[in-house]
A and B are shown apart, each in its own frame.
Chain A
């Protein structure tokens, strides 16, 4: 009978029958006298910022995998950054749960399409998704772009296409989104800051 130390105590707790096992010579195997290893020892530490509210707390994101090619990193722990002058290492009940958002079962992992009138998602490739979206946009823009208004003024406007931009995006994708939208002639766009 091979029984672990923990299992042995469980059995003992079950009652006299269990504890009498010991007297019959079934002793548990020797416990390793070693503390559990510090779980961040082999982790890569990355400085980041909590994406929730505008306190924008500094965070330390810990991942395994050394980020070299083919060693895909996996985030497994997130905590407050003690150097950050605003949050000084603390996180709130929202921020302390960040890992569960990173690992949420509701994360999207591949492009999908829901066809008109359909009741389900269909997986498609990025290439197909972007090609179809670009085709939709071009057809829409070509049909509805306004070169000039009634007075003959050049207005270069496309207002049958709208865009809601994310306030969770960083400044750089935000700026890029603005540049692309203006380039296309889009005017019908807004962001969470409004609401």
Chain B
């Protein structure tokens, strides 16, 4: 979330699309109710199902799963056509005035530079025109035909209300009604918040779904405002924190890149990763990349990282390709992996195409499951009849299962969806021989280190040089680790005048003091300051809220720098006055920025200096034209890989652009995509209020509340298929089948798409063969293996099935 949970109460319009907060984020949803009561805010829900969020909304519009970009592009077209944008904001805070290379274009569903064989783009023309001064050229009048604003107008002009309605199945009047309500928020004193979740991410166009909405929020002037922003309602209690720690092969903590084979030296790496300034006088905060990176190397390798050895750069593994979860299972499936660890992760249930996952796990030499609970994955080798039909004697994988502690059985910090880091304390030991994750990882590492120290082996150096200063080496404490993550001075730090401001050994106050000369160590620059000389700030429990906006600046610690609303400089006009004084986040007081949040701006940057609000970009403004995206700098509607239409209605004559032309699909996975003639219904997976993923099926009370796997279909489809409420039905995709109880409901709208009637099948995910719930099939038996082109989140939300009475 760019904003935070309590801030939702400051909105005038709440749009829930690609999520279902009333069921999946229940205690956060109360702030929607608060906005409705306190500000007379309206709630609009757009969803393929009439969800519980929809049930309490002021307006509900149905939509076909997998057609969100068409809907949102139509919304952009409406805003531009009706001149419902916040002009001053767009000029001051976005790249609308920037001029683009005239070679850039868009034709037949493809942007310039497409390589059909490699399924990717050469982005050479996706760039700004550069002036002789070395900066990007702009046209503040927004009239130049090559300026972003004009290119946008042209690009989205194709998405009129009739086209949108035909693609999405949203009735035209409902679409226009949503447009009208959203357009009202272009007024400078009205804000819309958007709450989305996996309903937007789990598509082959997931990143572009979110980006299209980000463009809308920029056009309306809602980024940085109280009650505005782009708000991802994330999954687990610490999924945000683990994302920030970047447990991804291709990233290092704090969203730094893992070095690749192309970056042979530290200099080459830093040169490539440190962005250039694209407009004069901008902060371009990533220009501090080297400080964050060297401080991380000092946290990883301690005194062994020196200027002479490039701070241990050579020890870091260099990436040679993709290692996201779909790529991992593809490698495993090809027999190219020997060992695998699942730490609190149940991939047999949670990754697409269970048959492929099961076959991949069967090819491993060893599998280690660290978990508090008995997961389906840990027993993938066991015959559970139709629910998990395998022959254990044929599976040679050696499987270890290690009992781990639960949340209340260790201390540490969780980061909520609103980026607030909060400490939790330990209440009791876990049952039996349970161990904390830190003890399991600590002991595993120290054992391996001992083996390499005594026996040698393949390059022991990176292991032996890893900095391990923990009091009990086999069990580093969360407090020690939190201090390392936050950062400390290794030698005295002096300011420009030579005065020592931070003494050696002291915790640093924030990332602003990190250095690239090896004098500071910091495990994650974004979290710097969470444990300062003042102590553990994540444990703060002062919930006072003097502004009334719900900022509670002394509760926990928010990253970055305890800032609660990101881009808050954009809540003010060019002169530093808040767009809406009644909801002042920050303002310029003549000498400094201040107010009800930590300014997202250099505190003494006078408005006249023209420092842009989006300090992480080289431009200083937000990007309506975003060349970083792999499938295009503007969004375009592409069908899900399993499309009920068999074509892209925007480009019916171009089969190459039916689905995302830049998405990665592996051989073998492409072949098992289903076609609409055999699998005519659109399936979408979802979550229930009473269950959390695959954990709560192990809890008795949740098993009582929702005991059994079911699927949801409309009365009309049930009638066509002769299915009655309570019948057991078989749902089949081209990858397998599940059986579950049919719930026949009015909650699934029947849509008219491209002139035809279209049915949707809703499938909750929470069931499996291990649990207190009635043993059931794993929903991901059905789902296809294809990910979002930018970040490889699998397409769980839109695929094709058939359904029949079992």
Task: Identify the A interface with B (CB < 8 A).
Answer: 44, 46-59, 61-63, 65, 67, 72-75, 78, 80, 83-88, 90-98, 100-102, 104-119, 121, 126, 129-138, 140-145, 147, 149, 151, 153-180, 182-195
Contact = CB atoms under 8 A, between A and B. Distances in A.
Contact of A114 (B399, B442, B448): B399
Interface string B760-785: 00000000001110000000000000
A85 B550 contact: yes
B372 interface: yes
Contacts of A118: 392
Contacts of B702: 93-94, 97, 100
28 contacts: A48-B407, A53-B236, A56-B416, A57-B27, A72-B429, A87-B27, A104-B698, A110-B432, A126-B402, A136-B365, A137-B339, A141-B458, A145-B458, A149-B320, A153-B318, A157-B319, A158-B458, A164-B340, A166-B344, A170-B411, A173-B410, A173-B437, A174-B238, A175-B523, A178-B252, A182-B300, A186-B317, A188-B323
Among B317, B432, B452, B796, the most chain A Cβ lie within 10 Å of the Cβ of: B317
A85 B458 contact: no
A165 B345 CA distance: 7
A85 B699 CA distance: 27
Query: Chain B interface residue count: which class?
Result: 35 or more
Given A85-B6, A162-B340, A174-B238, A107 B431 contact: yes
B261 A153 contact: yes
B56 interface: no
Nearest to A116: B396
Contacts of A44: 427
A151 B261 CA distance: 10
Binding site of A, secondary structure by majority: helix, strand, loop or mixed? mixed
B320 A155 contact: yes
Contacts of B402: 108, 111, 126, 129
A92 B29 CA distance: 11
A126 B433 contact: yes
A53 B695 CA distance: 12
Given A56-B422, A73-B429, A193 B239 contact: yes
Contacts of A109: 403, 431-434
A58 B413 CA distance: 12
A195 B699 contact: no
Interface stretch (B83-91, B109-117, B151-159, B479-487): B479-487
Interface in B392-417: 392-404, 406-408, 410-417
Contacts of A59: 408
Interface string B319-334: 1100111001001100
A189 B319 CA distance: 12
Contacts of B235: 53-54, 167, 192-193
Contacts of A107: 372-374, 403, 430-432, 434
B237 interface: yes
Given A83-B543, A97-B702, A195-B350, A175 B481 contact: yes
B247 interface: yes
B341 interface: yes
B242 A133 contact: no
Contacts of A88: 30
B246 interface: yes
A61 B424 CA distance: 10
B416 A106 contact: no
A83 B446 CA distance: 40
Contact of B27 (A91, A121, A133, A184): A91
A190 B325 contact: yes
A173 B438 contact: yes
B747 interface: no
Nearest to B545: A85
Contacts of B552: 85
B343 interface: yes
A132 B433 contact: no
Contacts of B602: none
B435 interface: yes
Contacts of A108: 371-374, 401-404, 432, 434
Given A49-B414, A52-B236, A119-B382, A178 B253 contact: yes
Contact of B234 (A54, A90, A185): A54
A63 B428 contact: yes
A192 B339 contact: no
Given A192-B239, A193-B235, A141 B457 contact: yes
Interface stretch (B667-675, B684-692, B714-722): B684-692
Contact of A54 (B314, B416, B462): B416
B481 A176 contact: yes
A160 B328 CA distance: 10
Contacts of B478: 170, 172-173
A160 B340 CA distance: 9
Interface centre among B320, B343, B413, B478 (most CB of A within 10 A): B343
Contacts of A166: 242, 343-345, 370, 437
Contacts of A153: 261, 264, 318
B765 to A, nearest CB: 11
A54 B201 CA distance: 16
Contacts of A52: 236-237, 692, 695-696
B545 A160 contact: no
B700 interface: yes
A194 B338 contact: no
Contacts of A189: 247-249, 323
Interface string B1-31: 0000110000000000000000011111010
A86 to B, nearest CB: 5
Most buried by B among A53, A78, A144, A156: A53
Nearest to B398: A116
A175 B524 contact: yes
Contacts of A53: 24-25, 28, 233-237, 692
B682 interface: no
A171 B692 contact: no
Contacts of A176: 437-438, 441-442, 476, 481
B270 interface: no
B701 interface: yes
B44 interface: no
A14 B418 CA distance: 59
A138 B457 contact: yes
A134 B448 contact: yes
Nearest to B465: A183
B323 A55 contact: no
